[in-house]
Amino acid sequence: MTDTAAAAPGLEVATAEGRVRGRVHGDLLSWRGIPYATPPVGALRLRAPQPMTPWTGVRGALDWGFAAPQPPYGAVIGPGRRQPIGEDCLTLNVLAPRRPSDSLRPVMVFIHGGGYLLGTSALSVYGGQKLVERGDVVYVSLNYRLGPLGYLDLTDFATPDRPIDSNLGLRDQVAALEWVQRNIEAFGGDPRNVTVFGESAGGNAVTTLFATPAAEGLFARGIAQSSDAGVAYGRERSAQWGREFVACLGADPSDAAAALDRASLREIGRAAGKFMKDSLIAAPGTLAYAPVVDDDYLPKHPVDAMADGSAHAVPLMIGTNSREGALFTRFLTDGLPLSESSIATMFSLTEPAALARVTSAYRDYPRRRAAVDLGGDALFWKPSTDCASGHSRFAPTYSYRYDFTTPSLTAIGFGATHAMELIPVFGLADTGMGRSMTPLGGRKALRALSERMQAHWLSFARGGEPLSSWPAYDEQHRKTMIFDATDRVECDPRGERRRAWEGYLGYR
């Protein structure tokens, strides 16, 4: 197949597994709900994703696939609209320009967030239309297993007759990237020019993929937005959480494998909610649904892999928002380190001697705002800064901080909080989401910021570098792009805080 032919797909596309038919959306072509692995149901529950059995005929790719099992509110995709939920959730979506191209287009693969408990690629904020229209790229989004069926280490309950695998959601993401390598050329995309990007848990997925040997060669670069990169834990902690979940399920440990097989999604969901609440209160700042450093599929903690050069040496763009923690003051208040008491508990369980050193770097601590900022930094900024520092020794690295806010966001106490950068990155300033942020003004500035951020993201996706106004990060100068109403570059922003956190490992 020539590049020209490959770059001008029709609605009907031949993949390695079978033919799929999409639909026209204005100047774009879309294919939704394409399976990238066999449905993980029945005997395949808690097993690594298996290759999809090829099909005959043409498969319609018109509707979103199932959202992974999760609390129902996590799959709400609009007013009165909820994505159907089911274990048959290993699907992805492709969006491509309708017009022909003389060459294969760059590919951007997005991994959604939601704490590895919630979320779906069908959420409108993840649509990708503006990136495709402006950047002339092929956009892929995917669903992957969540919660106890995707991110809980239950391997201690495996038996010779009932194997159980670890890191299932991570394996799903690798399987989706393998699908991209096999098939994206048929949709006009270049498999040699793939950028994987994600936000929150999706950002964690990116930093984790950098440390996953099975992902080698599957992407050319990565963008980690608000990655809680420290959220990956060793076998001992993860195995204990597995035992606690099985207890919440009401199963006898000697019969756990059979109990996990016969449990309904309702039963699993009920146990998952109770277990997560209990685990968060016991150890504020942990997320029990997380990658496990299992000495096999994920042999090393992602932060450590970036520090010692064993991570994939491809370009990385990484950053966080100025006030990550503010969003979480509206929920999860008992489980995140956002108050003096929960912060004290966090340090007592990790590194007690660091408490005084770190808190002294936050002006007005322990007042609420300072405590919330410290908690957000512990979860997102500190581990992301560690990733930038380590990776910059081995591959081009670009660091950012998102400071932009609007009068409305400031008035409600959010400011530049978690997930706010998704609006400009996806070009949504003039949508309902953008309008909801700007009833008191700021839409023009948000629109202009979106133009600049998309230009950087698309430049990086095309050639591995943002625009020239954004310098690379290194440990000597720590140059960081600050996105605001007027962008600027700062050297070692919030350096006092960074130095106070040095050496802190958090939960492992």
Give whole-number Cα distances, 67 to 118, 247, 397, in Å: 9, 26, 33
* DSSP per-residue string spanning 412-438: TT-SSBTTTTHHHHTT-TTSHHHHHH-
Question: What residues have CB less than 8 Å from 339, skipping those under 6 apart?
Answer: 333, 366, 368, 371
How far apart are the C-alpha atoms of 132 and 427, rounded to whole Å? 11
| The one catalytic residue among 30, 121, 166, 200 | 200
Answer yes or no: are the C-beta atoms of 188 and 194 closer than 8 Å.
Answer: no
Is 200 annotated as catalytic? yes
Beta-strand relationship, 58-60 and 19-21: parallel
Choosing from 324, 384, 389, 399, the catalytic residue is 324
Cβ–Cβ under 8 Å, residues 144 and 209: no
Asked if 477 is an active-site residue, the reply is no
Asked if residue 380 lies in contact with residue 226, where contact means CB atoms within 8 angstroms, the answer is yes
Beta strand ranges found along 19-90 (DSSP E): 19-21, 23-25, 28-35, 58-60, 76-78, 81-82
Active site residue 264: no
Q: Select which of 418, 421, 450, 456 is catalytic.
A: 418
Cβ neighbours of residue 352 under 8 Å, at least 6 residues apart? none
Distance from C-alpha of 158 to C-alpha of 139, rounded to nearest angstrom: 38
> Would you say 450 and 429 are in contact if contact means Cβ atoms under 8 Å apart?
yes
Residues forming the active site: 200, 324, 418
